[in-house]
Amino acid sequence: MKTRSVLIVDDEKNIRLTLAQSLEALELEIDTAVNGEEALARMKDKSFCLMLLDLKMPGMDGLEVLRWVSENRPDVRVIVITAHGSIDSAVDAMKYGAVDFIQKPFSPKEIRDLVSKVLDRSTLTEPKAHDYDARIEMAKKCVGERQFEAAAEHARSAIAIDASRPEAFNFLGALHDVRGSRLEAQKNYRAALSIDPTYEPARVNLYRSTNAKPGGSVAFVREEAGPEKEG
């Protein structure tokens, strides 16, 4: 079986080392890069299935790397590394197919679980997406493939399966934010909060959407992005 290759891109040496050591148990081939320029050079020479990418780096930042990946290597999945709960430029990151985020500090188990989930998502097909969680995963897979309307349909399907959970509403809201439909995004964030007033991603997203300047940040957690409810 062909070994799957993962590229870790972070300007902090200890983060690169921690991530590489955490992923050893998954039997992945690990490469690292210290900045965006080195990451692009690595990708031009080698095929990777997944990239773990810090958005905040000197020189070429992570968003520029994401843009290049979207245009040149759309098959590569990206997990964004952030030191902040509310991620600057998250709407733009989602436009370029990034929908999975992990916040520093993280445990080895957290990163292994997330990487395994993202890699397993590549084999998920619509006939297998029977339950709520599978529909959310299909929505994320579609975002990774830049199929945003299909992603929205899967989020709506998740809501139809179980309208008592906030994640799909929040995710749908984020998709509307990506497309510039702020009022629709806000409706979905409010729907998520009406279900669970303590659901932090929707609370942060609604606050940003109603108070921030256009293009502000969207809050993501590992298990969800942002959603909205239709009609």
Please give the structure tokens belonging to residue 98.
């990034």
What domains, with CATH codes, occur in the chain?
5-121 (3.40.50.2300), 126-219 (1.25.40.10)
Cis upstream peptide for 105 (omega within 30°): yes
Please give the structure tokens belonging to residue 85.
């709960």
Task: Reduce the DSSP state of residue 5 to 3 states and report it.
Answer: strand
More confident residue, 88 or 204: 204
pLDDT band at 230, cuts 50/70/90?
very low
pLDDT value at 106 more than 50: yes
Please report the pLDDT score of residue 82 as a whole number: 81
pLDDT tens digit sequence for 20-49 = 999 999 989 999 999 999 999 999 989 999
Q: Is 60 exposed, middle or buried (0-12, 13-18, 19+ CB in 10 A)?
A: middle
Q: Is 51 exposed, middle or buried (0-12, 13-18, 19+ CB in 10 A)?
A: buried
Give Cβ neighbours of residue 190 (< 8 Å, ≥ 6 apart): 202, 206
80 DSSP β-pair partners: 53, 101
Question: Among 85-89, 143-147, 148-152, which range has the highest average pLDDT?
Answer: 148-152
- Strand 86-87 and strand 29-33: pairing? unpaired
